[in-house]
């Protein structure tokens, strides 16, 4: 029997792949520690003791995407978790995950997840079960 629920594999895959490369694991930890901050790669690279190009090359090689795309994945995972587990407003959650404007988060959720913030909060759609990132 094949279920009709969409797979979460596309959302979990980048985080799992990142664990295959120590630099990406460190980069992910740094991003999570600075989630509300703008994503300046120069700061991340400096903190990790590598050149600015190193995270860019590594993310492209390991994940097949840019570091900014990976940061957005992490932000979306955290936003989905907060929507499901807190009563924080969408505006507050947007701020906590690094977006100054909730409309930016809404657009990204719609584009990347094919959902809405309201649907994620209610547990509807691909993110019905949201594990802690």
pTM: 0.77
How far apart CA 46 and CA 39 sit, in angstroms, is 13
Assign residue 25 the CATH number of its domain: 1.10.10.60
Q: How many CB atoms lie within 10 A of CB 24?
A: 22
For residue 90, being part of any structural domain is answered with: yes
In a domain, 62, yes or no: yes
Cβ atoms of 77 and 15 closer than 8 Å: yes
What pLDDT is stored for residue 17 in this prediction? 61
pLDDT tens track for 40-80: 888 999 999 999 999 999 999 888 899 999 999 999 999 99
Q: Is residue 18 part of a domain?
A: yes
- Residue 86: how many other CB atoms lie within 10 Å: 12
End-to-end alpha carbon distance in the chain:
29
pLDDT at 11: 46
C-alpha distances in Å from residue 61, one per residue of 56, 94, 98, 102:
9, 29, 25, 31
How many domains does the structure of the chain reveal? 1
Q: CA 60 to CA 83: how far, in whole Å?
A: 30
pLDDT confidence tier of residue 16, bands split at 50, 70 and 90: low
Domain span at residue 113? Answer: 9-122
The whole-number pLDDT of residue 128 equals 45
Averaged pLDDT of the chain:
82
DSSP 55: H
Residue 128 lies inside a defined structural domain of this protein: no
Q: Distance of alpha carbon 77 from its chain centroid, rounded?
A: 5
């Amino acid at each position: 029997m094949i279920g009709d629920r969409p797979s979460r594999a596309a959302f979990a895959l980048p985080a799992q792949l990142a664990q295959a490369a120590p630099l990406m694991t460190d980069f992910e930890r740094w991003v999570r520690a600075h989630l509300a901050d703008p994503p300046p790669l120069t700061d991340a690279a400096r903190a990790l003791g590598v050149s600015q190009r190193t995270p860019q090359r590594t993310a492209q090689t390991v994940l097949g995407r840019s570091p900014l795309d990976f940061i957005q994945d992490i932000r979306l995972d955290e936003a989905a978790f907060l929507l499901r587990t807190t009563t924080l407003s969408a505006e507050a959650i947007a701020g906590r995950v690094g977006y100054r404007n909730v409309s930016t988060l809404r657009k990204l959720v719609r584009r990347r997840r094919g959902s809405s913030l309201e649907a994620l909060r209610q547990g509807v759609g691909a993110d019905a079960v949201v594990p802690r990132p």
